[in-house]
Structure 1
C-alpha cells in the first residue's frame, strides 16, 4: 500500500522507508560507526584524558567574609571559584569610571552586562582623586560609590583595584606627584604608608554598605599591581601590610588578588594571583613585527604568558609559580585591544583577540578577565597637567595625554567595535557551560608545539572530567600565516572509551579557532560530540529547549548522537535532536559565524531570548534598547517572540522562528564644514631616549609645525540623536582636537579611525573645532603595522593629511515587550 510520510502517518501505523531513504540510513549508520570507533589513521591527533581529576584543596586560602545577608556565598578552592557552593567561571571586564563621563555609566554598564560580562573591574587612580594634598575628590566623574551602585543595578559584580600603584598608563602609576616628590613609594616606608592608609580609608568609606557581606556587589579587591619588588619592607611584607590596611578600612571581601606575572611576590595563602596576556607588546622597543606571541599558544606548564609590561624587573621565579597547585588559574588582563604607545602603535584585528579565548580557556583559565573592555579618556589635571604616563615624567612609555581608547570592544563613547561581536559567543558559552568547564583538567596532546614559534604542529588541548570535556583548537597567530592542517581527526581517550571526531578527516584552514564539546548532555539528549561550538541554551516554552551552536567556518557541523549522526546546516531553523525525560523537544539552532556575530542573549520580560542585530542591544527598565551609528535603520530579530512589542513607528513581522522588529527611516546626517587653516611645517626629528631608549614623544614646541583644519559644526544638530560622533581619518604622527584652547582629545596615528562623542562637551551649535596633525616623518623610528604605515614617495620626508572627516548620529530605540 502507499504510505504517506507525515507526522500523522507516523502516529497511525508503521511505515516502510523507501529504498533511497534506507540507503541513506545505512550510510549514516556507517558514518556513525566510523566516528565512534577508534581510528588508526596517520593524521589522527591523539590525546589521553583517562587520568582521574584530583579533588581540589580547600580551607587553605585566608580570604574574607564569603556569605551575604541573603545567604549567597562566594569562595575559592585550589582549582576554581564557587558561587553558592557551585563552580563558577565568570567573565570580567575593566572599565575606568574616572576616565569616562558619569552620564554614560548606567548605559555602558548595562551594555557590558548584555555582552556577557559578569564582573566589572576598575582601578582607583589615587592622583585622579587627590592630585594635591588635602581633600579627596569623589564627585562627578570621580564618584566611585555611584559607579558601584550603578554596576549593581546593571546586574554586575565589582572588583575594585585599589593601587596605590596602579600603572594603567597613568602618571607615576597613579601615585600623586606630591607623594612621589617627597618619600619612597611601593614599600613599607612609614610616611608613605600613612598616606596609603588614608587613601584606603577613603575608598573604604566610598564602598561602605556595598560590599558582598553587606548585600552589595563588591566581591573583591586587588592590592598594588605588577609587584615584584624584593627587599626590606617590600615583597611579601608590603602586600601583607596593604591587605591589613584594606581590612582596617572595612574592605572585608571574599576575594583578594594581586597580579601574578613577571616574577610577582606576595604572601602565599593571603591573596590569589591573576594573570593575563596580549597579542602584541606596544611597550616593546622593536620597530619590527614581533615573534609569535604566547597568547596564541596553549600552555601546559606555566600560567605566565610572557612579557606583560611590568616596569620593574625580577630575576627569579615569583610566588605565582610556586603557588600553581594552591590557587585557581584566574585572569584579569587579557587584552581585547592594545594601548597606544608613541614608539609602537599596533592595530590588532578582531581575530587576533578572539583566537586567544580557546587558547586561554584550553590552558586552564577559570576567570576570564579583560583589560580594557571599555575605552576612556584621561582627566586633565590642575593647571592642565597631563595625568598620563610619559617619558617627560620619568615613565617607561609615552601615551596620549587624553585618549585611552585601547581599541577596546566598547569605545570611549560606547561604540560597539567589531571585536565585541567576535567575543560575545564565547561569553555566552561560559555563562551556560562554565560551571562544567571550571571543574575540568587540562589535557596535553601527544604532540604539541615545541614553542610559540612552532607554526607547523597543530595547536590544541582538551579539558575534561570523567567522560565529558571540551576540545580547544587554534590555527590563528597574529601576523603569521598558518598552514592548513590537512586531513585532521581527533582521538580523545576517556575513561569510558575513545571518541574520534569528526567522522571523516577535515582540512582546518588558516585562521580557524573553536571549542567543540565531547559527551555533552543536552537536557537528556546525549551528544557524543559536535563539530560546532556551543553558545547558549534557551527555554522556548511550547517550542521546547533550544541549544544554540555556531558552525566552524569551512567545516561540516556534525552532531553525533547515540544512534545516529546528523549533519546540520545553519539557517535551517530549529532542528530536532530528541526529547527530554519530560517529553519536551530538544532542538538545535545552528548559526553561521556571521549570524553568531549579531547574537545577543538578553533577559526580556522574565525570559531569556536571542536578539540578533547589527546594532547594539541591551535591556533597561524592562525594555529592549537598540542603538546604532549613522544613517542605517534600526532593527532586530527576536526568539522566542515578544508578546506585544511596541515603539513609535515599529514594524513587526514573523520570519520562520524569528520575530523581526524594524524602525524604518533614518536621521539625516549633519554636515561638517572643513577648512584648511595652516599648512604643515617641517616636523623636528624624532629623538630616542628615556628609560626604554626608544622613540620619545615630541616636545610641546614641535606642535608648531602641525597642519591645522577648522571643523565647523552645523547650526543645529538632530534633536532626536542621542549623540553625534566626530569621525576623523588622518595620516600623520599625532592628532589633536581643540575647542578654543581646550584640548578635547588626542590620538596617535595607527590606521584606526578616530571617533569622538560631542554631546559630553556641551558645545554650542555652530561651534568651531580645530584639528591639528603633527607630521609623521618618514625616518621616524616608530612601529606602525605594514598595512597602515604611509607609503612615502621617493624624496617625501613627512606626511600630514586629513583624508576624511564626518559627523555620525547615534540613534536609539526603546521597545516595550
Structure 2
C-alpha cells in the first residue's frame, strides 16, 4: 500500500497520463492523390443550346457548362399557380437575392384544364408572364411539364376527366392525344421565351418519379413525351427526369436529377425515424433512399446504370418538408443546411431545392379541394389549401431562418462553383458504414490536382453525433500533403462546414483555412475582398504559401509553420482580418465574418456596383433600388461595402392597404462604420396591431381517426367530422394596418386541423404540428371588413399521427383538445433604399 501522499501523487500521475492520451490528435485521413480524369463527353442529346447572342449551355458526364466553362448553379422550386400573380415579381427577386440562379415550376394540368377543352392561362395561371418576370429578375427557368407532376396535388395534376376516362402515364393513344394538346398549349406559352430565342427557359422536365415498366410504359413513354415536347416547340438545352426510386427512362435522351429529404412525411411511422442517409456522404450511389414515389420499382433504375455518363444533378433536396396528416415533421434550419456539405461533397453539381417558396392551392371551380388526399385515392392526405412546406420563403414571401443558413452556401457556389464542378469526390480511409453510425467522422474531399475543398458534417436530425475530439485532417494530394488545423480541434455535435485546400485568391495561394469561403468581391484596381465565415467553435487559421507578405489585424499572430505563413488567433468580425500585398498586383483583403454575420450577408447590385450587404432584414434588388422588409420590428439597420458616395434616400409606402399608395420619405441616419462596412439606420413609426378573439362555438367529440387508404395508416377525417370543431371569431380592423407592407396573422392553436374562413370561404388551413401558422393579410385586405373565423377540429389523445415530441400536448387526462392559445398580428414594415 502507498501512503496517502504517495497515493495522491500516483493518482495525479495516472490522471496526467490519461489526459495526455485523451489529448492525442485523432487524424482523419483521406487520399486525394490519384489523378483527376478528364470528364467524359456526356452521352446526352441536348436541344438547341446556343442563344442568339452566342452564349451556349452544355453538359459533360461530370458537370454543366456555360459558354464552355464549368457551371454549378442553384435551382429553387416556386409554383406560380399556388401564388397570387401580384406577388410574382417581388418573390422572384427575393429568390434571386437568396442566391437562386434557376427557378423551377410545375405546370399542373388540372390547374389549367379543369374542364375538358377550356384552358385557363390567365391571372395566377399565366405561365408566360411568370417566365417573363423570372427573366426580368435575372433567373433562368426550368419548366416541369408533367403531365403527371405529383406535387401533392389531386391525381398528380392530371384532370379528373382524364383519370376517369382513360389509362394514364403510358402510351395509350387517347391519353397521348390529350397530352399532345396540353404540350401544344405550354409550347405557345413559352414561345419566344426559350434559350434559343434569347429567352431564359433552359430546361424541360418530363413526367415525375416515373418507374413504371411494361407495354406502352417505361423508357418508350418518356421517349414519346420528349417527341411531343419537341413537336410543341419546346426545344431547350436540357431535358430532365427525376432519378430516384427506380426511375426508368431512355438513356441519352434525358438527364436524371436527384434529391433527398431529412425525413419522410409520406411515411407511416408515428415515431422518430432512424437517421436518414441524407446526412451521410455517398460514394457509390446518387440515390438518397425513399423519396416518396407513389409507384413501386421492381429493379434498379436507369439512373443507377447511367451514373458514369451523366452529371450528378439535384432537383429536389428538401429546403423544407410538407405536413402530411399522419406525419407532421418539423425541421430546423440546421436540419436543412447540414445537407449541403454532404450533397456537394458527394459530387452534386446542380443544387436544386423543393420547395424554395411555399404557396397555397387553388380551389376547384366547384369550391372543393384540388389537393392530394385519400378521398381521391391518393397515398397522402395534405391540407386542402396550405402548401407552406416550411420553405425558406413562406407563402406570403416571409423570410425564414433556413434561408439565412442556406444563403452563404449559395454565395460560395456563385464564387467558387466553376472551380468545384470539375473536382471529383475522394473517399476517406474510414467512413460510416451505415447512416446510424453516429460516431465515425463524416467527411469527404473534392479535388482536382492539388486544389480542393474539404466537406465535413457532424449533424444528424434528431440524433446527437459524437463530438470529434482533438481532430486534425490529413489530405494527401498529388504534389503535397496538407494537415489542418495546425493544432487539433474539437468538432462539436451539430457542426458542418466547407474548408478550402490551396485556394487561389486572385493569384495568392491560400494553402488552407479553417473557415468557410463565402464570396469574392472584385473592385478592379482597388483589389479583391475575399469573405469567409468562421466555423462555430473552431479557431480560425489561414495558411498561405511561404513568402506571402501578410498583415493581420486584431491581435492575430503570424508565424512560419511547415514552410508556410500561418495566421492564427483571427477574431471573426466585419473588419479586415488579413491583407496580402503582392508586388505588381492588386491587394487582397480577407474578411472572416462570425457565423451569425455570414447568415446576414448578401451581394447586391447598387449604384452601378456589386456590393456586400449585411442586414438582419429581408432585402432584394428592385431595379436600381434596394427593397427591405422587417417583420415585427420597425427598426432597419444595414451595412454596406464599398461605401456609397452619399447617403441614399429612403422611402416607404402603405401599398397593402390603400388604392393609391404614396411614397413617404424616411429619415435615414448614417451610423458610422462596422469594420469595413458603412452602416445606416432608419426607424419607422411602430404599429401595435391588435386582434380581438371571441370563442363562438365549443368543440364536440371528434370521431376516432380511421386507419385506411393505400398507405394503411391514419387518414384525414371526413368533411362531416368538422361539425365537431370549435370556432373563434377574429377581428382585425383594417385601419390599423395602413402604412404597412403586410401583416401576418399568426394563429397559435392546439388541435388536429385548423381552418381560417372569411364568411364561408376558406382562406387557409393547417395541420397542428407546433410550427407557426401564419397568414398574410395583404392579399385579402377586403375581407377584413368582416370578422374572420378560426375553426379547430379537436386532436384526440389516441390519434395515431406523428407529432414532434416538443409539440405533443399534455392532455391531462382529457380525451381530446381544441384550443386557440393566442392570435397575433405581426406587422411587416417596408423600406426602399435609392442611391
- TM-score w.r.t. the length of structure 2 is 0.92
CA distance in 2, matches of 1:582, 1:132: 70
1:582-731 alignment runs, 5 A limit = 582-644=584-646, 645-647=648-650, 648=665, 649-655=667-673, 656-731=675-750
Which residue of structure 1 lines up, in the alignment, with residue 757 of structure 2? Answer: 738
Contact kept in structure 2, 1:626 and 1:635, CA below 8 Å: no
Note the C-alpha offset of 1:710: 0.2
Note the C-alpha offset of 1:581: 5.8
Rate the CA distance shift 1:807–1:53 in 2: closer, same or farther, 3 A. same
Note the C-alpha offset of 1:717: 3.4
Rate the CA distance shift 1:671–1:42 in 2: closer, same or farther, 3 A. closer
Contact kept in structure 2, 1:344 and 1:783, CA below 8 Å: yes
Note the C-alpha offset of 1:59: 5.8
CA distance in 2, matches of 1:550, 1:147: 35
Note the C-alpha offset of 1:605: 2.1
Structure 1 residues not aligned, in runs of 5+:
1-39
Which residue of structure 2 lines up, in the alignment, with residue 526 of structure 1? Answer: 509
1:177-576 alignment runs, 5 A limit = 177-540=160-523, 544-563=527-546, 564-567=565-568, 568-571=570-573, 573-576=575-578
CA distance in 2, matches of 1:403, 1:59: 40
Note the C-alpha offset of 1:541: 5.7
1:139 aligns with 2:122: yes
CA distance in 2, matches of 1:323, 1:292: 28
Per-residue CA deviations over 1:355-407 (Å, capped at 9, x if unaligned) read: 00000000000000000000000000011121100000000000000000000
CA distance in 1, matches of 2:734, 2:770: 31
Question: Is the partner of 2:603 in helix, strand or coil?
Answer: strand
Rate the CA distance shift 1:316–1:402 in 2: closer, same or farther, 3 A. same
CA distance in 2, matches of 1:286, 1:108: 35
CA distance in 2, matches of 1:764, 1:348: 33
CA distance in 1, matches of 2:215, 2:680: 65
Note the C-alpha offset of 1:555: 0.5
Note the C-alpha offset of 1:756: 0.6
Root mean square deviation of aligned Cα: 1.2
Question: Is the partner of 1:240 in helix, strand or coil?
Answer: helix
1:776 aligns with 2:779: no
Rate the CA distance shift 1:305–1:77 in 2: closer, same or farther, 3 A. same
Q: Please, which of 799, 802, 805 is the counterpart of residue 817 of structure 2?
A: 799
Note the C-alpha offset of 1:653: 3.0
CA distance in 2, matches of 1:383, 1:762: 24
Per-residue CA deviations over 1:52-103 (Å, capped at 9, x if unaligned) read: 1111122631110010001000011100000010000000000000000000
Note the C-alpha offset of 1:540: 4.2
Question: Is the partner of 1:113 in helix, strand or coil?
Answer: helix
How many corresponding residue pairs? 777
CA distance in 1, matches of 2:459, 2:705: 35
Question: Is the partner of 2:383 in helix, strand or coil?
Answer: coil
Which residue of structure 1 lines up, in the alignment, with residue 7 of structure 2? Answer: none
Per-residue CA deviations over 1:391-425 (Å, capped at 9, x if unaligned) read: 00000000000000000000000000011000000
Which residue of structure 2 lines up, in the alignment, with residue 174 of structure 1? Answer: 157
Question: Is the partner of 2:531 in helix, strand or coil?
Answer: strand
Question: Is the partner of 1:571 in helix, strand or coil?
Answer: coil
Which residue of structure 2 lines up, in the alignment, with residue 107 of structure 1? Answer: 90
Per-residue CA deviations over 1:679-710 (Å, capped at 9, x if unaligned) read: 11111111110000000000011111111100
Question: Is the partner of 1:469 in helix, strand or coil?
Answer: strand
Rate the CA distance shift 1:765–1:776 in 2: closer, same or farther, 3 A. closer
Question: Is the partner of 2:736 in helix, strand or coil?
Answer: coil
Per-residue CA deviations over 1:416-437 (Å, capped at 9, x if unaligned) read: 0011000000000000000000
CA distance in 2, matches of 1:583, 1:466: 25
Per-residue CA deviations over 1:419-478 (Å, capped at 9, x if unaligned) read: 100000000000000000000000000000001111111000000000000000000000
**88-97 or 710-719: bigger deviation:** 710-719
Which residue of structure 2 lines up, in the alignment, with residue 3 of structure 1? Answer: none
CA distance in 2, matches of 1:572, 1:225: 45
Note the C-alpha offset of 1:582: 3.8
1:813 aligns with 2:814: no
Question: Is the partner of 2:735 in helix, strand or coil?
Answer: coil
Per-residue CA deviations over 1:93-138 (Å, capped at 9, x if unaligned) read: 0000000000000000000000000000000000000001012100
Contact kept in structure 2, 1:667 and 1:718, CA below 8 Å: no
Contact kept in structure 1, 2:42 and 2:309, CA below 8 Å: no
Question: Is the partner of 2:509 in helix, strand or coil?
Answer: strand
**534-543 or 285-294: bigger deviation:** 534-543
Note the C-alpha offset of 1:543: 5.2
Contact kept in structure 1, 2:758 and 2:783, CA below 8 Å: no
Contact kept in structure 2, 1:631 and 1:666, CA below 8 Å: no
Rate the CA distance shift 1:664–1:42 in 2: closer, same or farther, 3 A. closer
**295-304 or 544-553: bigger deviation:** 544-553
Which residue of structure 2 lines up, in the alignment, with residue 158 of structure 1? Answer: 141
Per-residue CA deviations over 1:278-327 (Å, capped at 9, x if unaligned) read: 00000000000000001100000000000000000012111000000000
Contact kept in structure 2, 1:428 and 1:536, CA below 8 Å: yes
Note the C-alpha offset of 1:797: 0.8
Question: Is the partner of 2:114 in helix, strand or coil?
Answer: coil
CA distance in 2, matches of 1:367, 1:55: 19
Question: Is the partner of 1:145 in helix, strand or coil?
Answer: helix
Q: Please, which of 82, 91, 108 is the counterpart of residue 125 of structure 1?
A: 108
Contact kept in structure 1, 2:219 and 2:250, CA below 8 Å: yes
Question: Is the partner of 1:704 in helix, strand or coil?
Answer: helix
CA distance in 2, matches of 1:550, 1:579: 22
**675-684 or 218-227: bigger deviation:** 675-684
**647-656 or 474-483: bigger deviation:** 647-656
Note the C-alpha offset of 1:575: 2.4
Structure 2 residues not aligned, in runs of 5+:
1-22, 547-564, 651-664
Which residue of structure 2 lines up, in the alignment, with residue 76 of structure 1? Answer: 59
CA distance in 1, matches of 2:183, 2:816: 49
Contact kept in structure 2, 1:346 and 1:785, CA below 8 Å: yes
Note the C-alpha offset of 1:606: 2.4
- TM-score w.r.t. the length of structure 1 is 0.94
Per-residue CA deviations over 1:529-588 (Å, capped at 9, x if unaligned) read: 000000001134675311000001111010011231102211261123413564321111
CA distance in 1, matches of 2:318, 2:385: 20
Note the C-alpha offset of 1:667: 3.3
CA distance in 2, matches of 1:709, 1:163: 41
Contact kept in structure 1, 2:41 and 2:309, CA below 8 Å: no
CA distance in 1, matches of 2:419, 2:372: 42
CA distance in 1, matches of 2:734, 2:455: 55
CA distance in 1, matches of 2:103, 2:353: 9
